[in-house]
Structure 1
């Protein structure tokens, strides 16, 4: 988490990102995705980041359907980034040519959000 705590040993189930993108027509010029969620929340993620073994569109958490707290009806799970990048309440995906800031990024959070590099804030 951006506040330096983590919850380990969680189990998420869903559709692997790599399987999902095989089923849709992605513009070859696209480099990033904007995840659109309830209440106008958005977050930006590079397609190169999403192309990872553990990235998924999750619909189960610890074997149970997602509840509102964990992102019902679907969550974009990006485990190698700070969890504000794992967008809850997912409603749509916008494939973009170039990067644009999402909700938290417009409010000072880092565009990449890599926890290993402590990329919390963009300033």
Structure 2
């Protein structure tokens, strides 16, 4: 199928929702780097470990579902130049997750670790935003493996490589550190509104 059938120019009436050089995704592309080992654990067996500059804790699936649950409608922006509008996710806001953890005052950044070799970091202050989510569902259905299920980070204010799939670990750190793509030359911040794709941008 032609690429032009998957993407379209931003609708003029919604142009302000598109960062520079982005096109409208008509579907939901699935892109993967550093795929996890197979088979993945079932959702009910999935855990999320907090460590580093925080009291170490492993949250079970039941623990995560017992936290306040939120539904967020978000625009997401991929570094490969597509934007998808009005995606609907369900899960735990990161700020609500932080309330369940004991984080050291020395912590300034959080490295999100996937099952496997993938990781990406964000400033700890970003985790207090209203629109960051630890998602277990998309559009009312359990998150498919290809989209990062059973658990992923959704960070819509940054390019989507920061939204780590197959999330299994949160490492609290006292400095920024490169994740998978940052170690390969991507911008450490990844702000789509500033076109921060490469570290040289």
Q: Say yes or no: TM over 0.5.
A: yes
Once residues 74 and 114 of structure 1 are traced to their aligned partners in structure 2, the CA distance between those partners, rounded to angstroms, is 23
1:86 aligns with 2:163: yes
1:95 aligns with 2:163: no
Q: What's the CA shift for 1:72?
A: 1.0
In the TM superposition, 1:12-31 aligns within 5 A as 12-31=89-108
Once residues 78 and 107 of structure 1 are traced to their aligned partners in structure 2, the CA distance between those partners, rounded to angstroms, is 20
The residue aligned with 1:5 is: 82
Pairing partner for 1:58 from 126, 135, 144: 135
Once residues 155 and 106 of structure 2 are traced to their aligned partners in structure 1, the CA distance between those partners, rounded to angstroms, is 22
Once residues 35 and 18 of structure 1 are traced to their aligned partners in structure 2, the CA distance between those partners, rounded to angstroms, is 15
| Secondary structure at 1:73 match in 2 | coil
Q: What's the CA shift for 1:108?
A: 0.4
Instruction: Name structure 1 gaps, 5 residues minimum.
Output: none
How many residues in Structure 1 have an aligned counterpart in Structure 2?
A: 123
The residue aligned with 2:114 is: 37
Higher strand fraction (1 or 2): 2
Once residues 99 and 45 of structure 1 are traced to their aligned partners in structure 2, the CA distance between those partners, rounded to angstroms, is 8
Q: TM (normalized to structure 2)?
A: 0.60
Q: CA RMSD in A?
A: 0.8
The residue aligned with 2:185 is: 108
Q: Which has the higher contact order (CA 8 A, sep 6+)?
A: 1
Instruction: Name structure 2 gaps, 5 residues minimum.
Output: 1-77
Structure 1 residue ranges (4+ consecutive) displaced by more than 4 angstroms after TM superposition: none
Q: What's the CA shift for 1:7?
A: 1.1
CA-to-aligned-CA distance 1:34-78 (integer Å, 9 cap, x gap): 111022101011112222111011000011001111111211111
* Contact 1:43 1:104 (C-alpha < 8 Å) held by counterparts: yes
Once residues 77 and 58 of structure 1 are traced to their aligned partners in structure 2, the CA distance between those partners, rounded to angstroms, is 7
